[in-house]
Amino acid sequence: MSETTGCTADWHLEHSSPGMFLHYLAPQHLFARQINTLTARFRDVQALCDAGSCLPALTRLRNALAFHLVKMSRWWRFDFCPRGVTGVRNPLFLTYVKAHAERSAEDDALFDLFTMQRHMHGGDGGHILVLGRDPVPDPSVSIVYGVDGQRNFRFATGSHGVQPLWNGQAYPDFAAAWLAARGVHALIRDDSTDLHEYETAQREHAWARSWHHRHFHRSGKLPVIRLYAQANAQFMNCQSAFGRAEMKTVVERLAFDIARAAFQRHMTVADLIEDSDALSINLRSANTIKQRARAYVATCIDPISRPEMDTLLDRVVSYVPRRCP
């Protein structure tokens, strides 16, 4: 049976509704914070259900959190295995998702689009399910977002009161479509500064997308310190505000992974780096990684999970390895 963080069912019913911390139409909100919070809340609510808290409202909350884990995996295009991420067997997890979808026509339509496509023209890039409107503070322009029959994100622009025209380009995740739409909006306004910013952000988001895709991967061909070095090089090359924010979070996530690896191996961060021979080791490198790991916990870890992560970092920072004489 899974363990809870100590939060009660009543607390989760008040604080863990997905709409309170997920911002689907505003991708400038940090991806990592949203997905980490969503995952932590699902695990905690599932643990309460496993422990016998069978309140119908709590069951509905669990099912909603399960659905949004699937939705987020499509929205941000990351690999998601229910059992690997939540500990719940895939068939059982899917029953939670379907139970939620049955209670919401909007969510059922989106789930169907990404699965069976009973209500769509299957594989038709011209058949588009509308997701919502962009709240741009411009009375002259309307931006609408959707997902087409090929499961790609699209946007349409037009004047208010006039049927919007769908752009012909398709995008693999919502953030890419959002950035492209904002670029078109800047073009319409003849704002060359904003146009350059969003075009640059589109290129830099493609770098971050590959990291988002592997967010839940626990192993890879390269050691985490080499991954950190790669991400940091990309971060240093980012020029847009959106791109820098995305890659900064990626770098901080990998810094946290390094600190966690050092804790698990009973080493200091400096010794772990030295053993890897992946970066030129110096005290400043280790301290920067520690600071970034702290920043990741402070900004991207769900508050209900933060104390445990802070304790981990306290221990890895203070640990002094024994050395042979």
pLDDT, tens digit (0-9, with 9 covering 90-100), for 241-300: 999 999 999 999 999 999 999 999 888 888 888 777 665 556 678 889 999 999 999 999
10, 75, 1: which is closest to 38 by C-alpha?
75
pLDDT band at residue 317 under the 50/70/90 scheme: low
SS (H, E, C) the chain: CCCCCCCCHHHHHHHCCHHHCCCCCCCCCCHHHHHHHHHHHHHHHHHHHHCCCCCHHHHHHHHHHHHHHHHHHHHCCCCCCHHHHHCCCHHHHHHHHHHHHCCCHHHHHHHHHCCCCCCCCCCCCCCEEEEEECCCCCCCCEEEEEEECCCCEEEEEECCCCCCEECCCCECCHHHHHHHHHHHHHHHCCCHHHHHHHHHHHHHHHHHHHHHHCCCCCCCCCCHHHHHHHHHHHHHHCCCHHHHHHHHHHHHHHHHHHHHHHHHCCCCHHHHHHHHCCCCCCHHHHHHHHHHHHHHHHHHCCCCCHHHHHHHHHHHHHCCCCCCC
270, 272, 235, 275: which is closest to 252 by C-alpha?
235
pLDDT at residue 131, as a whole number: 95
pLDDT at residue 36, as a whole number: 97
pLDDT at 226 exceeding the cut of 70? yes
pLDDT at 1 exceeding the cut of 50? no
pLDDT at 97 exceeding the cut of 90? yes
Query: Residue 145: beta bridge partners?
Result: 132, 155
pLDDT at 141 exceeding the cut of 90? no
Bigger pLDDT: 286 vs 199: 199
Average pLDDT of the residues in 121-129: 81
Contacts of 74 (CB under 8 A, 6+ apart): 114, 151
Mean pLDDT is lowest, of 13-22, 162-171, 176-185, 294-303, for 162-171
Percent of the chain with pLDDT over 70: 92
